[in-house]
């Protein structure tokens, strides 16, 4: 059900009076999922790729650690599956995980063929270990710039492909539907400040996560969960939204944006210490620094609370490889802020990192609407369960993007273009700007509320307080929304409401969802998904 006061569309429109652009395949998002999918499908028709900012502005660009894949002689998809299921807190879909780990190696090999240059040592690909992995199976590039390298290689291929048209600075507002079929998208073209429609035979959402819901996040500014929120408004099932992964180690520096200190740093031997200089992870989990992310994030939070500090330290002064060579991007960022990781401890604190829930799809990326598909962080495919295994996210974008392309190629029919040209959709709800408001200020208040009340450690009292405050902001759905800031805020409020309600409903602790009033996992009553 739609929450009270939530309209079907965020703007009034009449399709017959809008500029319409037709295409075969419409893809939203320019991260690994969107770019790879466009390259896999362009041979079957014209592709338009929409991105909210510039082509290279995505969470992929910021990914440091690498991409997890079972390629080595001492590794196997079976072992990779074991680790993924275990990290997911008995909540993954085994079928989806099997697809991920068995089809992953071929997709990564194709990524290499497309020009991605992973780091090698003596002619062999160099792999590293990350938390909760049995084997060192993480491929990385330029030390700690894996995402940037993947983004470089894929975006270059997309730019060079004539049948793929890239449209930058396009904010997608809503999916256009009739009955249970998706026909395309309503967008705000930020280049002209006009609302236009894109109609397509198949629409693919690869729009990323929602880290900007929280005041502390490693995500870029564009990660406002637009795809998930608009899919929900359009009648698409969304699920598992209470599971937000908080990365344990973001660089803490007052006044600076949160910068990820990759898990690979701990994989290479760095040790967490509290502000007294004491190591502590061995007291929380047998795997210490390499425990699952949710465990490490809560342990750090506990140490910060006990010692009344805003951060802990990461001691990387004794890792085997020279820090500046193994992690050049992190090193450069630390040095800029006056921290030398080779000689001194790095101050770190947890930050919102990954949205594990989202648009519910099957193992072929299909949603419950005809002609609407989704892949990447905006989805809930079932591979991450309640806690994503480190470095599985980039692999998920490849594997399910590839599957969507295969599915569409099999199902596409030429007759669907004729139907698009006959489409006459309109929406005219009463929307009046009856009060002025500042979307930027409300966004800041919302981010602070979500961090404090719906963050790493949750309880019924805080969640109910958050829900009440979020409801007060729903007045904006009665107003005429015009700007990108308006639309982003609307999407964030919807997701905040869904996440808070899901977290309140799930009366157990599982993976990244921790309730201090229900601290145990409850497989008898709660091994089930909350679907809206």
- pLDDT value, residue 197: 97
Backbone dihedral angles phi then psi of residue 63, each to the nearest 5 degrees: -65, 125
* Lowest-pLDDT range of 59-63, 180-184, 255-259, 508-512: 59-63
Question: Whole-model pTM?
Answer: 0.94
Helix (H) or strand (E) holding 102: helix 94-113
Question: What value, to the nearest 5°, has the Cα angle with vertex 498 and ends 493 and 502?
Answer: 150
- pLDDT value, residue 1: 42
Active-site residue (options: 293, 298, 388, 515): 293
pLDDT at 62 over 70: no
3-state secondary structure string across 184-199:
EEEEEECCCCEEEEEE
Give catalytic status of residue 293 as yes or no: yes
Rounded distance between C-alpha atoms, residue 295 and residue 358, angstroms = 23
Q: Which two tokens stand for residue 384?
A: 């991450």
pLDDT at 366 over 70: yes
Rounded distance between C-alpha atoms, residue 9 and residue 95, angstroms = 35
pLDDT at 415 over 60: no
**For range 484-489, the mean pLDDT:** 96
- pLDDT value, residue 131: 81
Rounded distance between C-alpha atoms, residue 207 and residue 376, angstroms = 8
Rounded distance between C-alpha atoms, residue 84 and residue 134, angstroms = 10
- E-strand stretches of 270-318: 271-273, 312-315
Instruction: For the chain, report the end-to-end CA distance as a whole number of angstroms.
Output: 7
| Alpha helix stretches (DSSP H) within 115-203 | 146-160
- pLDDT value, residue 2: 44
**For range 66-93, the mean pLDDT:** 93
Contact 225, 236 (CB under 8 A): no
Q: Report the residue count for the chain.
A: 532
Q: Which domains does the chain have, with CATH numbers?
A: 43-193+220-243+354-421 (3.50.50.60), 248-351 (3.90.700.10), 439-526 (1.20.58.100)
Q: What is the pLDDT of residues 188-221, one digit of tens each?
A: 999 899 999 999 999 999 999 999 999 999 998 9
262 half-sphere exposure, CB direction, 13 A CA radius: 30
Helix (H) or strand (E) holding 503: helix 484-505
Q: How far is CA 419 from CA 68, 204, 405, 414, in A?
A: 42, 19, 22, 10
Rounded distance between C-alpha atoms, residue 378 and residue 459, angstroms = 26
How many whole angstroms from its chain centre is CA 58?
10
Q: What is the pLDDT of residues 37-55, one digit of tens each?
A: 999 999 999 999 999 988 8
Contact 19, 218 (CB under 8 A): no
Backbone dihedral angles phi then psi of residue 220, each to the nearest 5 degrees: -70, 165
Per-position DSSP letters for 348-390, written without gaps between them: EEEEEEEE--EEE--TTSB-SSBTEEE-GGGEE-SSSTTSPPT
pLDDT band at 365 (very low <50, low <70, confident <90, very high): very high
- pLDDT value, residue 79: 97
Rounded distance between C-alpha atoms, residue 100 and residue 116, angstroms = 20
**For range 228-249, the mean pLDDT:** 97
Rounded distance between C-alpha atoms, residue 164 and residue 487, angstroms = 27
Return the axis-axis angle of helices 94-113 and 77-87, rounded to nearest 10°.
Answer: 120
List the one residue out of 334, 342, 289 whose CA is nearest residue 317: 342
Rounded distance between C-alpha atoms, residue 470 and residue 369, angstroms = 29
Question: What value, to the nearest 5°, has the Cα angle with vertex 20 and ends 18 and 22?
Answer: 165
Contact 184, 170 (CB under 8 A): no
List the one residue out of 315, 284, 308, 277 whose CA is nearest residue 298: 284
pLDDT at 489 over 70: yes
């Amino acid at each position: 059900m739609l929450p009270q006061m939530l309209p079907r569309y965020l703007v009034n429109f009449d399709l017959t009076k809008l500029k319409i652009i037709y295409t075969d395949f419409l893809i939203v998002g320019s991260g690994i999922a969107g770019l790879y999918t466009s390259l896999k499908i362009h041979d079957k028709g014209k592709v338009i790729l929409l991105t909210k900012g510039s082509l290279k502005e995505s969470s992929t660009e910021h990914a440091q650690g690498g991409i997890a894949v079972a390629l080595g002689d001492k590794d196997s998809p079976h072992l990779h599956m074991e680790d993924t299921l275990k990290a997911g807190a008995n909540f993954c879909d085994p079928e989806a995980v099997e697809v991920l780990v068995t089809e992953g190696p071929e997709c990564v090999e194709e990524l290499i063929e497309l020009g991605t240059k992973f780091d090698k040592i003596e002619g062999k690909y160099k792999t590293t270990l990350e938390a909760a992995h049995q084997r060192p199976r993480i491929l990385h590039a330029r030390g700690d710039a894996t995402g940037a390298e993947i983004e470089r290689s894929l975006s270059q291929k997309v730019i060079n492909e004539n049948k793929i048209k890239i449209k930058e600075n396009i904010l997608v507002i809503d999916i256009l539907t009739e009955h249970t079929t998706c026909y395309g998208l309503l967008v705000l073209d930020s280049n002209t400040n006009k609302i236009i429609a894109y109609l397509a035979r198949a629409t693919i959402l690869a729009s990323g996560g929602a880290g900007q819901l929280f005041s502390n996040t490693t995500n870029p500014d564009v990660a406002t969960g637009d795809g998930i929120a608009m899919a929900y408004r359009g009648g698409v099932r969304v699920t598992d939204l209470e599971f937000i992964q908080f990365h344990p180690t973001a660089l803490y520096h007052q006044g600076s944006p949160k910068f990820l200190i990759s898990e690979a740093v701990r994989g290479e031997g760095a040790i967490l210490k509290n502000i007294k200089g004491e190591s502590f992870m061995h007291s929380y989990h047998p795997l210490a620094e390499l425990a699952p992310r949710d465990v490490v994030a809560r342990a750090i939070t506990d140490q910060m609370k006990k010692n009344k500090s805003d951060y802990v330290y990461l001691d990387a002064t004794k890792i085997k490889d020279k820090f500046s060579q193994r992690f050049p991007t992190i090193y450069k960022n630390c040095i800029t802020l006056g921290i030398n990781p080779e000689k001194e401890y790095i101050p770190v604190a947890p930050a919102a990192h990954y949205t594990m829930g989202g648009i519910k799809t099957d193992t072929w990326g299909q949603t419950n609407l005809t002609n609407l598909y989704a892949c990447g962080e905006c989805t809930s495919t079932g591979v991450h369960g309640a806690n994503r295994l480190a470095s599985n996210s980039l692999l998920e974008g490849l594997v399910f993007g590839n599957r969507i392309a295969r599915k569409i190629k099999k199902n596409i029919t030429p007759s669907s273009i004729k139907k698009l040209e006959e489409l006459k959709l309109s929406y005219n709800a009463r929307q009046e700007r009856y009060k002025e408001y500042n979307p930027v200020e409300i966004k800041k208040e919302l981010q602070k509320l979500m961090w404090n009340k719906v963050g790493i450690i949750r309880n019924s009292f805080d969640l109910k307080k958050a829900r009440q405050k979020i409801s007060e902001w729903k007045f904006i759905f009665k107003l005429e929304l015009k700007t990108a800031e308006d639309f982003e805020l609307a999407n964030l409020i919807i997701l905040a409401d869904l996440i808070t309600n899901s977290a309140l409903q799930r009366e157990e602790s599982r993976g990244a969802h921790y309730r201090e009033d229900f601290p145990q996992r409850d497989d008898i009553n709660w091994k089930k998904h909350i679907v809206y």
